[in-house]
């Protein structure tokens, strides 16, 4: 089979965001578009040659086409072995795990996470490096530079791979191995958690509902909850991955999974309700009559993690993204372990995890995971909760109440203003930035500003610096507001406003979150002139 060199012209928009290159499907369908991007990766990462590459995606529209293209380029660029999930399916955490267990030199993950799918939806690609984590800022910058000057790429002709049949297929000098998408991941989960105990918990009449939202986690949840843990089949809903996610928006939060919140507050509520997103890295946790915010989930899991088999040795540290509420900081202090604060995006956790400085990490955007993989992991979080409930005998409600009574409660909400005009959003951020130096010691709602600045991260492991990672207005421990622009959108700009308020008094632990953070929302709106400049009276999405 001949390797062909194809002449191409650069596209100038292949800069990656918070999590890979994300564009409308139609953008990816332009001639040579994906090929250029992948070739730029092969050009920048010569270590892929002669080595193993993992390929998979969340099953969204264009997944199979993209995987065929990727296999053809991989073979033409001298990759020795390609490992691909059956049907082209791999959840993001499962792909990261495969890269690790198979000692691959990297992986291509085709996903736009929770962004809607289908011909008019979004598509995306992430490059993960050896070790399983997302490529660093330095590497993605090099790849971007290469996409701007690329003039050719290589393909292997006649590369018809059957993605549905498990086993090996020879493609020129490259072996393509199609494997079961779930096996390795399910095995890992059984090493980390006490499956007997969770099975027993379910047998004793506790119930669980997991909504796969017609996205990638369906087969994983089916195998783990139903086949291995013995939950009744109805425990997993929307388990069949669909190319358009059933027309839905598999973003597990109170807006797009509102039906789960309704279930939690109904008389039929199971003991544990959960959902994941398009590519399986996010999670939402609810109990009877209670939604657990992601920042709380991180803190509560951290506080109880040592009860679980994979974590008996205790925690080496906790890491959270800067906008994530500071609930985990209280737990880290109590456990006397370091708390790391990183910029938004999972890639910033990987150095800490590799260096053994963090055991559990989390983001307010419904992301939680541990040192077991190098991506956030939706099902891991659900299993961790199930295991903690089974081990403590507490309900979600009891666990949360005890946690807040001990550590205090961080009320948290994120207000998103979506698809703003990009220049307008940048102007708003610039104006807000110019005010930051004047805010210290000023009053902000009913608090006093102790620190106001732009967050800049100094990676303690490799010394790299990530600047301009969001504006923060901090009022001691009591309150904090963060502003930043999203790096994952495919249209216009999205402004994210993160609101956090901390209380300790016993009578203040069960307020409605919206009420608790309302004064902060009003104060930041006035200060940053959000409604005035954006023309929006309210945010588009509140999570
Ligand atoms: C968002 C979240 C961030 C998350 C990223 C990828 O980024 O805020 O916490 O890591 O999405 O998640 P941004 O730049 O739009 O705020 V996923 O589930 O899309 O891989
Ligand atoms: Co995701």
How much of the chain, in percent, has pLDDT values that exceed 90? 96
The pLDDT assigned to 373 comes to 98
What is the C-alpha to C-alpha distance for residues 285 and 295, in angstroms, rounded to an integer? 11
The pLDDT assigned to 17 comes to 87
User: In which residue are the tokens 């008094």 written?
Assistant: 505
The pLDDT assigned to 158 comes to 76
Calculate Rg over the CA atoms of the chain: 23
CA distances from 340 to 297, 321, 408, 455, 490 (A): 17, 8, 20, 13, 30
**How many Cβ atoms sit within 10 Å of the Cβ of residue 209?**
22
For 520, residues 6+ apart whose C-beta sits below 8 A from its C-beta are 444, 445, 479, 481, 499, 500, 501
- pTM (2 d.p.): 0.96
* Residue among 526, 442, 524, 536 nearest 484 (CA): 524
User: In which residue are the tokens 């669980």 written?
Assistant: 208
Letter string b/e over residues 366-390, b meaning 16 or more CB atoms within 10 A of that residue's CB: bbbbbbbbbbbbbbbbbbbbbbbbb
Residue nearest to atom 11 of ligand 1 (CA): 488
DSSP class of residue 385?
A: H
The pLDDT assigned to 149 comes to 98
Residue length, the chain?
543
What is the C-alpha to C-alpha distance for residues 300 and 227, in angstroms, rounded to an integer? 28
Sign of CA dihedral 512, 485, 280, 243: positive
Distance in Å, CA 112 to ligand 2 centroid: 7
Sign of CA dihedral 300, 387, 346, 293: negative
181 has catalytic annotation: no
What is the C-alpha to C-alpha distance for residues 209 and 33, in angstroms, rounded to an integer? 40
The pLDDT assigned to 19 comes to 87
What atom in ligand 1 is closest to the CA of residue 488?
A: 15
Distance in Å, CA 252 to ligand 2 centroid: 10
Ligand 1 site, residue 19, Cβ cutoff 6 A: yes
Ligand 1 site, residue 496, Cβ cutoff 6 A: yes
What is the C-alpha to C-alpha distance for residues 388 and 390, in angstroms, rounded to an integer? 5
| Nearest ligand atom owner, CA of 344 | 1
Distance in Å, CA 281 to ligand 2 centroid: 5
Distance in Å, CA 19 to ligand 1 centroid: 7
Half-sphere exposure of 138 (CA within 13 A, CB side): 7
Ligand 1 site, residue 277, Cβ cutoff 6 A: yes
Reported as a single tens digit per residue, the pLDDT across 334-367 is 999 999 999 999 999 999 999 999 999 999 999 9
Residue stretches of the chain with pLDDT short of 50: none
What is the C-alpha to C-alpha distance for residues 470 and 454, in angstroms, rounded to an integer? 6
Catalytic site residue from 91, 113, 136, 534? 113
**How many Cβ atoms sit within 10 Å of the Cβ of residue 444?**
22
Q: Answer whether 396's CB lies under 8 Å from 490's CB.
A: no
For 127, residues 6+ apart whose C-beta sits below 8 A from its C-beta are 20, 41, 45, 106, 107, 108, 109, 134, 135, 139, 140, 143
Q: What is the DSSP string of 250-279?
A: ---STTTTHHHHHHHTSTT--SEEEEE-TT
Residue nearest to atom 6 of ligand 1 (CA): 19
CA distances from 396 to 33, 74, 206, 298 (A): 47, 47, 12, 14
Q: First-to-last CA distance in the chain? A: 52
Give all domains of the chain, ordered by start, each with its CATH number: 3-181 (3.40.120.10), 185-407 (3.40.120.10), 409-542 (3.30.310.50)
């Amino acid at each position: 089979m001949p390797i062909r060199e194809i002449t191409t012209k650069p596209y100038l928009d292949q800069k990656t965001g918070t999590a890979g290159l994300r564009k409308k499907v139609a953008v990816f369908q332009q001639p040579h578009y994906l090929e250029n991007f992948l070739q730029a990766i092969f050009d920048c990462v010569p270590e892929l040659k002669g080595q193993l590459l993992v390929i998979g995606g969340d099953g969204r529209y264009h997944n199979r086409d993209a995987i065929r293209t990727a296999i053809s380029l991989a073979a033409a660029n001298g990759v020795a072995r390609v490992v691909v999930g059956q049907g082209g399916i791999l959840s993001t955490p499962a792909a990261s795990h495969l890269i690790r267990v198979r000692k691959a030199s990297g992986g291509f993950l085709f996903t736009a996470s929770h962004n809607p799918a289908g011909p008019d939806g979004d598509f995306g690609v992430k490059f993960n490096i050896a070790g399983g984590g997302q490529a660093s800022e330095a590497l993605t910058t090099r790849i971007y530079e290469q996409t701007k000057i690329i003039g050719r790429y290589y393909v292997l002709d006649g590369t018809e791979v059957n993605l549905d049949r498990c086993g090996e297929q020879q493609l020129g000098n490259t072996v393509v191995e199609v494997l079961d998408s779930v096996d390795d991941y399910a095995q890992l989960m059984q090493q980390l958690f006490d499956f007997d105990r969770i099975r027993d918990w379910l047998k004793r009449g506790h119930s669980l509902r997991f909504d796969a939202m017609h996205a990638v986690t369906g087969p994983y949840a089916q195998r783990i909850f139903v086949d291995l843990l013995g939950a009744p089949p109805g425990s997993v809903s929307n388990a069949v991955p669909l190319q358009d996610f059933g027309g839905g928006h598999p973003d597990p939060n109170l807006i797009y999974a509102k039906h789960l919140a309704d279930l939690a507050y109904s008389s039929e509520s199971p003991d544990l309700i959960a959902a994941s997103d398009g590519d399986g890295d996010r999670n939402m946790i609810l109990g009877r009559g209670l939604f657990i915010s992601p920042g709380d989930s991180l803190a509560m899991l951290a506080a109880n993690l040592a009860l679980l088999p994979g974590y008996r040795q205790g925690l080496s540290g906790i890491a959270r993204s800067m906008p994530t509420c500071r609930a985990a900081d209280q737990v880290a202090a109590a456990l006397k372990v370091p708390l790391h604060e990183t910029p938004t995006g999972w890639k910033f956790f990987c150095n800490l995890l590799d260096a053994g400085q963090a055991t559990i990490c989390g983001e307010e955007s419904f992301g939680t995971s541990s040192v077991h993989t190098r991506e956030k992991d939706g099902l891991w979080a659900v299993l961790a909760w199930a295991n903690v409930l089974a081990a403590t005998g507490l309900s979600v409600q009891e666990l949360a109440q005890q946690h807040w009574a001990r550590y205090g409660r961080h009320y948290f909400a994120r207000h998103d203003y979506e698809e703003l005009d990009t220049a307008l959003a940048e102007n708003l951020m610039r104006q807000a930035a110019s005010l930051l130096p004047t805010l210290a010691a000023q009053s902000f709602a009913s608090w006093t500003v102790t620190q106001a600045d732009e967050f800049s991260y100094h990676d303690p492991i490799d010394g790299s610096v990530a600047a301009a990672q969001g504006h923060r207005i901090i009022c001691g421990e009591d309150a904090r507001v963060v502003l930043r622009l999203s790096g994952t959108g495919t249209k216009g700009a999205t402004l994210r406003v993160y609101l956090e308020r901390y209380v300790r008094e016993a009578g203040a632990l069960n307020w409605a979150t919206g009420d608790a953070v309302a004064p902060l929302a009003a104060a930041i709106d006035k200060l940053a002139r959000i409604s005035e400049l954006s023309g929006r009276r309210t945010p588009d999405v509140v999570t």
